[in-house]
Structure 1
Amino acid sequence: MTRHSQRHRTTTLPFSYRDKGIDFDLDSFAVDDGERTVLDLNPSQTEINVASAVSSSGSSSDESDWDTITLHGKLRLAEETVQAVFPRDEWAQPPAKLYVTLRCHETIYRDRVVISEAPTTPGEYEVRLEIPKNIVRGTVELRPYLVRTDARPGEEPNDYADQKNFRVASGTLYYVVVDGHEEEERAAIDGERVRFSQNAHLPDGNKLYYLDFRNETRPKLWINSDHPRIAEVLQSRGSVGAEARMRDVILDQVSYGVWVQLLVRAGSVVDAEGEVEHEWQEMVLQTFARNLYETNEVSEAIHRLRDDLSDPQTLPHVMQKIDSELQEYINPREQLIHLMEEGLQI
């Protein structure tokens, strides 16, 4: 079984990858525009209860009274990592960018903060990560990645990644607790598990999920607990093991469908001034619009999205753009590979 597992890993990830190739240390945080508070973490500590720290630090009389938490720290990329994941001719100017992903399972929120654009050479990099309260809930996961930024056309198969956007190294996964369970009502997009078969307002059949827009101010994601095994897996909080891998694949599937609906719906209600009515609509447009049109001007991108969605001639093209952007944003390939590799060990 061990030999078979190794053969499969070589097939699914046919290039050098360093799971602990980036040192990631968080040393302090600030609430809104306040002063930094030192994070006194144990060497192996990966869970950070910011909600508790905010309350005990005296930064606020109410731990829920904040808009943004900013975490500060450092990333260190070792020369050994670069030499392990890139061929010798790329060591001097590695075609890679370094970023940290932010992920919240509760609200299917994902984002990434680029720390270094290509070329990214070995060294130490300052990290500043903002967590916006209006689109997260519970726990936010933070993890750094080193990602190849261009392809090597014409290269024969070798031990190195040769395609753009392949992740080649990662670092410590932190779990940042941003609020307690009593704060769940503060999320921008609510989620709840319920039996569809016992609720008339939800679709019948074997639907896995349903995005409810009856209250346009606060869309709600319903997960069908008529599928008890799936609902149980979705409650898993671990980062390794079969259940964690299955959870991530299921969440990828759900989040893709949810983001498509949110993005199309938000883009369709943009007014002539480029404004939308609800907070979640602004969040979705701010997250995706610029990448869809490869521009730094949010206003321009939002207007173009609205126009493309309203025109039958451009609608198919923009839907293709949305599909491409969501595949890049969600990156389902990575979670599928993890699940395939985990399955060989069960």
Structure 2
Amino acid sequence: MTRHSQRYRTTTLPFSYRDKGVDFELDSFTVDDGDRIALELNPSQTEIDIASAVSSSDSSGVPNWDTVTLYGKLYLPEETIKAVFPQGERAQPPAKLYVTIRCHETIYRDRVVISKSPTTSGEYEVELEVPKNTVRGTVELRPYLVRTEAHPGEEPNDYADQKNFRVASGKLYYIVVDRDNDEERAAIDGERVRFSQNAHLPDGNKLYYLDFRNMSRPKLWINSDHPRIAEVLQSRGSVGAEARMRDVILDQVSYGVWVQLLVRAGSAVDVEGEVEHEWQEMVLQTFARNLYDTNNVPEATRRLKGDLSDPETLPHVIQRIDSELQEYIDPREQLIHLMEEGLQI
């Protein structure tokens, strides 16, 4: 793994942050239980096309892979630790290191913890699983170093002092897992259309609508009656004002969509903790365990069904759902990026 000095940009955050403070390199991947395939990347390459490696299909034309696993390393330099933690915390930094997995097309987001607190400088092995039923098109991977404890000091300083503040990040990779001709791959479809010209869509200035007419395959409609918003949502960049605005809009949309999907999936759970449709299973697998702090998914889904059905517990479970989605989506991150761009204009 190449070691090199980093040039850091100055941010408008009220504390020290390093957007290139974590070295991130991917070197290989596997498809299901197949042999590991080496990635021969150029030093500056961030887009990795593995669509051809996972394009095999069964007789019905449906891709027959389940999981792509990517392998690599993270390197956390000592200079990053010194830059984002005060002297007294550098020996045992109260931080965790994780990689986010995000797919805009299916509004999927997850994270894989690479190192729990304390996280010291050094090299860490990375193994990231990407399930087929949660993604489509391009998947984004990015590492973050995140503070895990509030700083006990009362005096203001140049360091982040609150729990869950991100203090460093690294290279953003774009993993292409399929092409446009694989539209049937996603559990949830999306399309941009003018609401004003479609009778089955709501009137007014709605930004989006989640359509459950086909319960086996919900569809997300984005209102192209708002052409500027629709244009921003098609932005593919990772920096700049449009990319930041796109991410904030997607966070807003995904929050409302996830609430609907989670409530509908939880309400559909049967007495054995099972559901009928693939998207319902995906939603419950993603959220139910965290909502009830258990690794037993059937137990968690049954409890969710009960809480959603009881008027006395409904407000409390909605509050837990809100808290979980705020943690899952982390809208603060994208809002901070957007504010940074605004202050530079």
TM-score range, shorter chain: over 0.9
| Identity within the alignment, % | 83
In structure 2, what is the equivalent of residue 36 of structure 1? 36
In structure 2, what is the equivalent of residue 283 of structure 1? 282
How far 1:175 moved relative to its partner? 0.2
In structure 1, what is the equivalent of residue 296 of structure 2? 297
Contact 1:64 1:179 in 2 (8 A): no
In structure 1, what is the equivalent of residue 26 of structure 2? 26
SS of corresponding position for 2:221: strand
In structure 1, what is the equivalent of residue 150 of structure 2? 151
Contact 2:196 2:225 in 1 (8 A): yes
Q: 2:64, 2:296 → 1: CA distance?
A: 31
Distance 1:153 1:220, change over 3 A: same
Contact 1:23 1:76 in 2 (8 A): yes
SS of corresponding position for 2:88: helix
Match runs of 1:32-181 below 5 Å:
32-54=32-54, 64-181=63-180
How far 1:76 moved relative to its partner? 0.7
SS of corresponding position for 2:250: helix
In structure 1, what is the equivalent of residue 7 of structure 2? none
How far 1:298 moved relative to its partner? 2.1
Q: 2:26, 2:57 → 1: CA distance?
A: 19
Q: 2:288, 2:62 → 1: CA distance?
A: 32
In structure 1, what is the equivalent of residue 318 of structure 2? 319
In the alignment of these two chains, the number of paired residues is 335
Distance 1:95 1:147, change over 3 A: same
How far 1:60 moved relative to its partner? 9.9
Q: 1:65, 1:276 → 2: CA distance?
A: 22
In structure 1, what is the equivalent of residue 227 of structure 2? 228
Q: 1:111, 1:77 → 2: CA distance?
A: 21
Structure 2 residue identity aligned to 1:22 = V
Please, what TM-score do these two structures have when normalized by structure 2?
Answer: 0.93
Give 5+ residue unaligned stretches, structure 2. 1-9
Please, what TM-score do these two structures have when normalized by structure 1?
Answer: 0.93
Structure 1 residue identity aligned to 2:103 = C
How far 1:20 moved relative to its partner? 0.6
Contact 1:103 1:140 in 2 (8 A): yes
Structure 2 residue identity aligned to 1:221 = L
Contact 2:288 2:301 in 1 (8 A): yes
SS of corresponding position for 1:21: strand
Give 5+ residue unaligned stretches, structure 1. 1-5
SS of corresponding position for 1:64: coil
Distance 1:203 1:65, change over 3 A: same
SS of corresponding position for 1:243: helix
Instruction: Supply the RMSD in Å over aligned alpha carbons.
Output: 1.8
CA offsets 1:285-343 (integer angstroms, 9 cap, x no match): 11111111222322322222111111111111111111111111111111111111112
Contact 2:57 2:63 in 1 (8 A): no
